[in-house]
């Protein structure tokens, strides 16, 4: 079968789970190929019928996961009428949408996908996925400012979750959040009497901007995608893998 792939790769290509988890499902006897229980290493093609727990998994377009180094001035929206909207800037041949937001005045890493099931698992605060930023302020800050940022700041009537901060220079610091309120860092700084001059996101979970110049994008590598699926631990129906 010239178009054949390993059964565990079928699961990752369809955004179901990582290869490691697919192997666990196969070993547990929960996967069938043409109504025969699958074995590790089995090959499948479009002519085969694959099922998990008796539910057929249709062959279809593989989910897309890409990362983009957003420049200042690009708006994180899928609305075509908005000038310099992120979808038009990227120009991907398939329909994709951003996971979360990054302000027009901010730059850095943002993920895009056509897999709607993965979005909440990345964005919801209770899952605690990290996002790392570098911030430039309008004036020098002291350790008291960094400590107050790390402890949480009241913005729009509620206190932000504790986070981690690190000084990078007189006016620059790093902050790692596990939540993503609208314009959160800018509002936290403003509440403490500072104004953000530049905000740059350098990391989302295990994904970074390494090798990705401003204004460019690339698909996640198999390793990055598998780590992402492992981190969110979900099937397409949104149920967590235990």
One digit per residue, the tens of pLDDT, for the chain of length 242 reads 457 899 988 887 776 777 788 899 999 999 999 999 999 999 998 889 999 998 888 787 678 899 999 999 999 988 888 999 999 999 988 778 899 889 999 999 999 998 767 877 788 777 789 999 999 999 999 999 999 999 999 999 999 999 999 999 999 999 999 998 899 999 999 999 999 999 999 999 999 999 999 999 999 998 898 889 888 874 433 343 33
> Are 117 and 224 within one domain?
yes
Tell me the C-alpha distance between 182 and 134, whole Å: 17
- pLDDT recorded at residue 15: 64
Decide: 114 and 64 in contact? Cβ < 8 Å: yes
> Are 101 and 148 within one domain?
no
In a domain? residue 76: yes
CATH number at 154 reads: 3.30.70.1560
In a domain? residue 71: yes
In a domain? residue 216: yes
- pLDDT recorded at residue 61: 67
> Are 164 and 197 within one domain?
yes
69 three-class SS = strand
> Are 16 and 117 within one domain?
no
226 three-class SS = helix
Known active-site residue 230: no
Residue 129: how many other CB atoms lie within 10 Å: 20
> Are 111 and 215 within one domain?
yes
- pLDDT recorded at residue 222: 87
> Are 115 and 149 within one domain?
no
> Are 83 and 194 within one domain?
no
CATH number at 220 reads: 3.30.70.580
> Are 189 and 213 within one domain?
no
Tell me the C-alpha distance between 139 and 40, whole Å: 59
> Are 103 and 163 within one domain?
no
In a domain? residue 242: no
Structural domain of residue 154, as residue ranges?
130-204
In a domain? residue 239: no
The catalytically annotated residue of 42, 103, 105, 147 is 103
The total domain count for the chain is 3
> Are 145 and 114 within one domain?
no
In a domain? residue 134: yes
């Amino acid at each position: 079968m010239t178009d054949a792939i390993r059964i565990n790769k079928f699961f990752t290509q369809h955004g179901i789970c990582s290869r490691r988890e697919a192997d666990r499902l196969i070993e547990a006897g929960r996967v069938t190929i043409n109504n025969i229980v699958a074995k590790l290493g089995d090959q499948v093609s479009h002519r085969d019928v694959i099922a998990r727990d008796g539910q057929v998994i249709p062959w279809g377009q593989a989910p897309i996961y890409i990362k983009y180094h957003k420049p200042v001035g690009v708006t994180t929206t899928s609305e075509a009428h908005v000038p310099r909207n992120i979808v038009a800037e990227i120009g991907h041949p398939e329909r994709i949408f951003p996971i979360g937001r990054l302000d027009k005045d901010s730059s850095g890493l943002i993920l895009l996908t056509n897999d709607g099931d993965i979005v909440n698992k990345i964005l919801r605060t209770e899952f605690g996925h990290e996002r790392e930023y570098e911030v430039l302020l309008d004036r020098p800050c002291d350790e008291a400012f960094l400590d107050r940022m790390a402890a949480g700041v009241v913005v729009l009537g509620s206190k932000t979750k504790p986070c981690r901060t690190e000084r990078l220079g007189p006016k620059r610091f790093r902050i790692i959040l596990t939540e993503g309120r609208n314009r959160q860092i800018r509002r936290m700084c403003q509440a403490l009497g500072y104004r953000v001059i530049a905000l740059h996101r350098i990391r989302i979970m295990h994904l970074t901007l390494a090798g990705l110049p401003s204004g460019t994008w690339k698909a996640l590598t198999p390793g990055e995608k598998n780590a992402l699926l492992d981190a969110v631990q979900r099937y397409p129906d949104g149920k967590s893998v235990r």
